[in-house]
A and B are shown apart, each in its own frame.
Chain A
Amino acid sequence: MAHGQTAPGIVSGRLSSDEIAQNFSDLHPAYEPHEAAVAADRCYFCYDAPCQVACPTDIDIPMFIRQIQAGNPEGAAQTILNQNILGGMCARVCPTETLCEEACVRETAEGKPVEIGRLQRYATDTVMAAGIHPFERAAPTGKSVAVVGAGPAGLACAHRLAMLGHDVVIHEARGKSGGLNEFGIAAYKTTDNFAEAEVDWLLKIGGITIETGSALGQGITLDGLRESHDAVFLSIGLTGVNALRAAGEDKAGVRDAVEFIAELRQAGDLSALPVGRNVVVIGGGMTAVDAAVQSKLLGAENVTIAYRRDRDAMGASRFEQDLATSKGVKIMFNVQPVAVHGNGAAAEIELEYTSGSGGDLTGTGETVRLPADQVFKAIGQTLEGAPEGLALDGRKIAVTGPGRTSVAGIWAGGDCAAGGDDLTVTAVAEGRDAAMDIHASLSA
C-alpha cells in the first residue's frame, strides 16, 4: 500500500521500507578504527582545554582522545564515563557544534574542529560492545534514595549513588525507562535501540531498582518517599506542553510534536507510521527540527518549520537548521500562527508575519496561508505535576548549588530544575552532581 509522497491526508507508507531504513540510518556513523586514529591525531592535547571547559560534564577530552590515539579506547571510555555515565548517548545527541566542538581551538583556527563527539562514540561503543561495565559498587551503606523519573538526570544520579554504595529505587511513570533518550531524541541520532541498550548497560552497576508505571502523584507522594528513603531526587523532566492559542488548534491533524516523536520512537515499523502530505511545524527548537526532519524522512511531500523570530534567535543550532534544510525542510522565519483552517480536519494554516524582537514581537497584519494537513506544535515543554510545597523559580523547580530544592532532603535536576540548558548532557551533569551532594549529606 505504497501511498507515495503526494497522497493527500495523513497516511502511512509514503516511502518504501528500504527508503525509510536508509533515511533513518545513523546521522553520524561510527568511526572505523583508522578513521578514529586519524581524527584523534588532530587533537593538540591543549592545556586547560577549551573543549573540556565547554563540556557540561567536564570530560577530560584531550586525555580520552590521546588514549584513543595510543590504541587504548577502553581507557578512553573510562575517562569519559567517569564524568558522564551516559557518554555513549551524549556522543550521539550532544549539539557539539555549540559545546565542545565550538570551543575546540581547531574550530577557531580552521573552522574544522576535532570531531570530539564521534571520537567519544568510538570509545564508548568499544566498551559497550564488549559488554564491559567499568565501575564497581562500593560496600553497601545501608542508605536508600528514591529517584523520580528515569531520564538522563535520574539515571546519572542513580548510577552515581549506587556506585557509592547506596540503594536506589527509581519511580518511572512510563512503561519504559530512558526518558527522552527513549521517547524524544531523533531516531537517526540513536539507532539500533541504543537508548534501551544503554540503560541495561548502566544498570549493571547493581543496586538500582526501576519501578516503571509508577508515577509520583498517582499513588506515590513526596512525603511517602521521604519517609521510606533517606533522600529523594526529582528528575521528572518537562511533560507538559504549551498551548498554541491559535484558532482551530483543536482540529484533527494538529498535535504535539513530542507526542508524534514519542510514537515514532516506539514504532516497530516506521513505514506503518502515518504522516501528512503537507506538514507545518510550529516552533524553533530542537523538537521542531526533529519533528520536521523526521516527517520529511517518513515521506511527507512538503515540510515547513514556521518560527516566529529570526534565524539568530532560533533555539536549534545552525547545524540543526542546515540538517533540516538539507533534508528538504523549508524554514520560515518571523511568522506566527493565527489560525488552522479546515472542515473538521486541518487543511491550511494561516501565518502572520512578525516584526520586533524579544518581548516586543508584534504581528504585522500581513498573513500567508500554507496547505497543512498536519500541524505539529513544538513551542516548548513545561513542568507538569511538580509536587506541592517546593519553591519554583519561574516555571521550574528552584534549586541552589548541586540541585538542592527548597525542602531539605529533596534534590532536583535535569529539565525540571531551573538553570542550565535543556540538554541530555546537562541533565547528566546535574544528576551526577546532585548524587555527590546527596552522598555527602548521607555520609555526614
Chain B
Amino acid sequence: MADLTTDFLGISSPNPFWLASAPPTDKEYNVRRAFEAGWGGVVWKTLGAEGPPVVNVNGPRYGAIYGADRRLLGLNNIELITDRPLETNLEEMARVKADYPDRALIASIMVPCEEAAWKTILPRVAETGADGIELNFGCPHGMSERGMGSAVGQVPEYIEMVTRWCKQYYDRPVIVKLTPNITDIRKPAVAAKNGGADAVSLINTINSITSVNLDTMSPEPSIDGKGSHGGYCGPAVKPIAMSMVSEIARNPETHGLPISGIGGITTWRDAAEFISLGCGNVQVCTAAMTYGFRIVEEMKTGLSQWMDEKGYRTINDFAGRAVPNVTDWQYLNLNYIAKAKIDQGQCIKCGRCYAACEDTSHQAISISDDRTFEVIDEECVACNLCVDVCPVEGCISMVEMQPGEVDPRTGAVVEAEYANWTTHPNNPMAKAAE
C-alpha cells in the first residue's frame, strides 16, 4: 500500500491533505473534528495583531457559481481574517497541537507591514508549538484596503522584506502564501525566496463578483443593497492555480522551492495533479466547506489506490513529474499531427461535434442523411473542440498520424523529427536549424 506520509519542510503529516486557512480551521472545535476525520494538517485561520479583532459583515458573505443540479463550482467570499481575539486562538492552537502531535499545525498570520508588529506576534506563535507559519499575503478584500493581505502580496519588495523579518524572529519554517491577483506570479515567488522563505503556498482567492441581482442591481453577496468584490475559490479556480504553480515550479529562479498547492482541490485526482506539477502537499478549503470534513477519506483512498496502480510508493515518487513537460508554446512540436476520429459505435448522434466544428472551427465534420457524423481528414486541424463538446467520453479521440503518412489537409508528409516554431520558416525571427 502506498505511503501517504509527507515531509514538507521537515514538518511531517500522515497525508498530504491539509486544510487551508479559512473557516474550516477557524477554531479548536473545527480543527479537532478535522483531525478526527483524518486531515493531515491545518493552517489555522489567519491571526491578526493583538487588540480588538476585526469584525465581519453581518449579512451574507458568500456568493456561488453553480453547474448542473446546483453543483457548487465556484465560491466567493468577503470574509476577513479571524474575528476572535488573538489570545483565544493561541491558547486553542497550543492545546490542539499538544493533543495531535502527529498532525501539522501551521499558524497563518497577517499583521501590519511594520517590523515591530511581526516581532511582537512571532514569539507568541512560537510558544504554541505550531510547526510553522504561513504569511497571508493573499486576502483580496477588506484586509488589503488596510495595507495588508494582497496589498502586500502585490508588491514583491514588501514580500521580501516581511519574509526576512519572519526568518529573523522565528526559527521554524516560513511559508509565504501568494495572491493570484497579480500579472506575473513568478515575481512574488522570487521575492519570497529571496527573503528566505522555506516555501510558497498558492493560490489565495481571486478578485471576483459572482453575480449581480438583476432586481436590486446589487452584486451578490449583497449587504443592504451593496456588494464588494470577494475572493473566488473552489473547482472553478483550479486551472488558474495549477498554471501559477507550474510557473513557479519551472522558473529556474524558484525551481525546487517547496510549494503547497491550493485552489479548487476537491478530489484525490486534483491533489495528484497539483503534486505532479511540483507541490509537496496540498491545501483544501472550498471542498471541505461544501461537503464537510469527511471528504478527506475519499481523497486519501483515491490517491492511495492510484499510487498503487502506478507503482508509486511515496508522494515524492511522483511529485514534480509533470513539471518538465510544461513548456512554452514555441517549443511545442509542430510536426506532431493528429486527426479527430469518431467511434461510430459509441456515437449517440447528438450532432454537437458537427455544430461546433461547422460553426466555430474548421468545417471538418460531415453529417449524412441518417445522421452519421464523420471527420473530414482534409479539413481537420485536430483542434480538439469536438472532443471537448462531445457528451460521450471517449467517443471522439485524437489519433496521431505516423511519420511517412501524408496529411490530407496539407498534402505534406508527416515528419518524424521534432520541429517547433523557433525554426519554422513562417517565423520572421526563426533561427536556422542547427
Contact = CB atoms under 8 A, between A and B. Distances in A.
A106 interface: yes
A260 B296 CA distance: 63
Interface residues on B, range: 10 to 19
A371 interface: no
B73 interface: no
Given A44-B391, A48-B367, A34 B348 contact: no
A87 B350 CA distance: 24
A105 B348 contact: yes
Contacts of B70: 34, 37
Contacts of A44: 350, 352, 391
Contacts of A37: 69-70
A257 B367 CA distance: 47
Contact of B69 (A38, A45, A105, A109): A38
B392 interface: yes
Given A44-B391, A105-B348, A50 B69 contact: no
Interface string A98-123: 00000001101100000000000000
B352 A47 contact: yes
Given A41-B68, A41-B69, A109 B352 contact: no
A106 B69 contact: no
A50 B349 contact: yes
Nearest to B346: A109
A391 interface: no
Contacts of B354: 47
A41 B69 CA distance: 8
Contacts of A47: 350-352, 354-355, 367
Contact of B351 (A38, A42, A48): A48
> Could you say which of B69, B70, B349, B367 has the most chain A C-beta atoms within 10 Å of its C-beta?
B349
Contacts of B350: 44, 46-47, 105
Contact of A38 (B68, B391, B392): B68
Contact of A46 (B68, B351, B392): B351
A-side binding surface: helix, strand, loop or mixed? helix
A105 B367 CA distance: 16
Contacts, number: 35
Contacts of B367: 47-48
B264 to A, nearest CB: 21
Nearest to A47: B351
Interface residues of A, number: 16
A108 B392 CA distance: 12
A39 to B, nearest CB: 10
Contact of B348 (A48, A49, A109): A109
A41 B352 CA distance: 15
Nearest to A69: B68
A429 B371 CA distance: 25
A294 B349 CA distance: 39
A45 B390 CA distance: 11
A42 to B, nearest CB: 8
Contacts of B371: 48, 50
B343 to A, nearest CB: 13
Interface string B51-95: 000000000000000001110000000000000000000000000
Given A44-B391, A47-B355, A48-B367, A105 B68 contact: no
Given A50-B371, A109-B392, A45 B68 contact: no
A340 B264 CA distance: 74
A106 B68 contact: no
Interface string B7-44: 00000000000000000000000000000000000000
Contacts of B69: 37-38, 41
Contacts of A48: 351, 367, 371
Interface string A22-64: 0000000000001001100110111111100000000000000
Contacts of A49: 351
A38 B371 CA distance: 27
A108 B348 contact: yes
B348 A106 contact: yes
Interface in A290-341: none
A46 B351 CA distance: 6
Interface of B: 68-70, 348-352, 354-355, 367, 371, 391-392
In the A-B complex, the 3 residue pairs with the smallest Cβ-Cβ separation, listed nearest first, are A47-B351, A41-B68, A47-B355
Given A48-B367, A109-B348, 11 more contacts: A38-B69, A41-B68, A45-B352, A47-B350, A47-B352, A47-B355, A47-B367, A49-B351, A50-B371, A105-B348, A109-B392
27 contacts: A34-B70, A38-B68, A38-B69, A41-B68, A41-B69, A42-B68, A44-B350, A44-B352, A45-B352, A46-B350, A46-B351, A46-B352, A47-B351, A47-B352, A47-B354, A47-B355, A47-B367, A48-B367, A48-B371, A49-B351, A105-B348, A105-B349, A105-B350, A108-B348, A108-B349, A109-B348, A109-B392
Interface of A: 34, 37-38, 41-42, 44-50, 105-106, 108-109
